[in-house]
A and B are shown apart, each in its own frame.
Chain A
Amino acid sequence: MSMRVWWLAFIGGLAALVLIAISIARMYAPPRAVPAETPVASAPVTPKETAHITATLFFGAPDGQSLAPVRRDVPLAETVVDQGRQILTAQLAETPPAPFVSVIPMGTTLRALYVTDKGDAFVDLSAEVVRAHPGGSLNELLTVYAIVNAVAANLPAVRRVQILVDGKEADTIAGHVDLRRPLTRNDSLVRETDEK
């Protein structure tokens, strides 16, 4: 019991100090988005110049009947809103790999994103989301919840998501799904599918 014990005590103390320092820093720093429920295993911890988080994006399942969650690296951002923007940009832009199908109308871009203190996010999409939507109840349901889930599942600070189109509140995207109220995430439409 001598050197070894001292060593252990020293390391323990150091660890405690670091933890305290981190938590103090967090209290003063602006809140930062932490991805929710994303499996850590798939994200190799390789220090790069730009840090990444692993976010869950939602593509159309191969059978077109549900949403498939897919993990993707997304640049880490400082604030909730910035992180949300990164995630949505990836969700809107990415062309899904082979078996999956896109549920986002071609050319849809993110115009703006707001998050209220109450945890409501407002996702303002460009008019293409309506103009280029092919229609159909299920199709529309998948488009809406790919976006809602991408925001609500990855940002713990967001509880509900309302989609705006071209800066304005919209009734629907294609005439079926109610967009007048913020929507909570929908897991019943999500089905795990093997990727690749």
Chain B
Amino acid sequence: MNLNLEREFIHCDAGARMRSCEAVQLRTLAVTILILAFVAGTGGQDLTQATPLTLVSREGRRPIPTTVQAGREVVALDDVASLFRVTVKEDTLAGGVTVSYRGRTIVASANRPMASVDGRVVSLPSPVIRAGNRWLVPIEFLSVALASIYDQRIELRRASRLVVVGDVRLPRVTTNIDFAGPPTRASIDVAPAAAVTVGTEPGRLIVRVDADALDFPSATGGGLVQLIRQGDQPNQIVVTLTDAAGIPRATVTTANNVAHVAIEVPAAATSESKATPNEPRPPDAEPRAPEPVPPVSIVATRNWQTIVIDPGHGGDDVGVRGPKGIEEKQLTLDIARRLRAMIENRLGLRVIMTREDDRALGLDERAAVANNGKANLLISLHVNGSRVPEQSGAEIFHLQLDRESAQVVRVATAEGASLPALGGGVRRLDLIPWDLAQARHLDESSVLASVLQEELQRQVPMSGHPVRQAPMRLLAAANMPAALVEVAYLTNPQQEARLKTDDFKITVAQAVFSAIVRFRAWSEESQTP
């Protein structure tokens, strides 16, 4: 079968007119889909996946046309040029093509599975093809080559056929009819978790997710739920109910970084008229209906920009050393890198690391990085040590101000200073010493510590005293909510062995990430008037 395909392609490449070529491609597409369907055994879904890729950016969604060549999905460079505003030039003499963007260039040659990106060679899963007057590159070209010269993140999500460009928050949505009923129970999962609001309208529910767009693979329906589909807005999910449906109730919970919307739709009360859907809450139509549509975290503003991660210790300062010689400074950097990737990819927030490599860095410098970066949050990652080898588990520290410092802050806040401002009026200044900047954020940091504790204890063992308040040097100078996480005891031989594994590091990063998501929702909600 493969041989067959190749022959057809040779024919196609030989400069056949586009129309006949397309016919071949369509056939190939169908064959490929059949193979895929056979292998995956999921039938219908693959058909929809053969549609163009979708480019998702802050500007919206646009299709990226693709074709399948020799079993590989390819995209035409002229389409790439118009979608990404890059310049594509053919070099007929060299038999190659250049793609340039703001002074940076990719050079590729026909029939070679590689490209030179700013002088660095990257390999591609299949060769670059010149077909007729078009240049075709494997779709991975976008994430492997183009991303390197582009000024925004380019992420290829093969499974959901999306190309994410820039800081776009694009959680994946899974829908399911759990029980046809009545009452019908349906669920919508949003991962990674984002703030979700549910609104009722006559005959339907509107679920809004705090995201730029949704990775929404397929619509479902069943029972009293006619259809769960993507809404008109990119961050909207619409749940349409059948005529026989009563007043639905929805609850939103977040666990393991998944926001779970549970929807229950009872049958309409038979004695009542059908007009009830227009009335959001008739007084006694639904005796066991709860109070209002349950509380949901609401995030309208997007005031969070930056998170600072501080990998503890570094350079000469190795931190704690485990019995097998593993050093704290390596672990903190490793976990920090994983956490950064999660935040950048899933939340689209800027992440600043106080150190990117193995270097010594003073605590003041670390605090300065966070303060100068105007970060919304500082998380300092550490690994603990004890003289008691049995001691194990994660601990979270937040700042405790001693009485004296608290007094200094109280006086400064109460008295402050007023300066004449430009254009009249006065500007009030709080004269809090820079190294006590945390004083403004003690309450928030305490919430942060509790959220961290809750998320960590779901995933990793905790110490007997998981949250502590102490005069921590780094936290004191941080002018934002801040906490220090000791993820485990490196002095405990079992924990040292676990700390070596990728699995544990990912789990820890995941737990901290979940806490950040929850804390952000809380923080933005509490700041919304």
Contacts and interface: CB of A to CB of B under 8 A. Distances in A.
A137 B397 contact: yes
A136 interface: yes
B413 interface: no
B491 A134 contact: yes
Given A63-B388, A102-B387, A136-B385, A171 B405 contact: no
Interface in A46-98: 60, 62-65
Contact of B464 (A63, A137, A183): A63
Contact of A183 (B328, B471, B490, B491): B471
A63 B363 contact: no
Contacts of B463: 65
B473 interface: yes
A176 B388 contact: no
B203 interface: no
Interface residues of B, number: 41
A136 B495 CA distance: 14
A110 interface: no
A55 B470 CA distance: 26
A185 to B, nearest CB: 10
A135 B471 contact: no
Contacts of B402: 181, 183-184
Contact of B388 (A62, A180, A182): A62
Residue among A63, A139, A175, A177 with the highest chain B CB neighbour number at 10 A? A175
Contacts of A63: 388, 391, 464
Contacts of A64: 386-388, 390-391
Nearest to B477: A178
B485 to A, nearest CB: 10
A175 B386 CA distance: 15
A175 B490 CA distance: 16
Contact of B486 (A136, A171, A179): A136
A141 interface: yes
A177 B320 contact: no
A180 B403 contact: no
A62 B465 CA distance: 15
A101 B471 contact: no
Contacts of A177: 470-473
B244 to A, nearest CB: 60
Contacts of B465: 65
Interface in B95-152: none
Interface of A: 60, 62-65, 101-103, 134-139, 141, 160, 171-172, 174-184
11 contacts: A60-B388, A64-B388, A102-B387, A134-B385, A136-B320, A137-B384, A171-B473, A176-B472, A178-B471, A178-B476, A181-B471
Which 8 residue pairs are nearest across A and B when measured between Cβ atoms? A136-B385, A64-B388, A178-B473, A135-B320, A64-B386, A64-B391, A136-B384, A178-B471
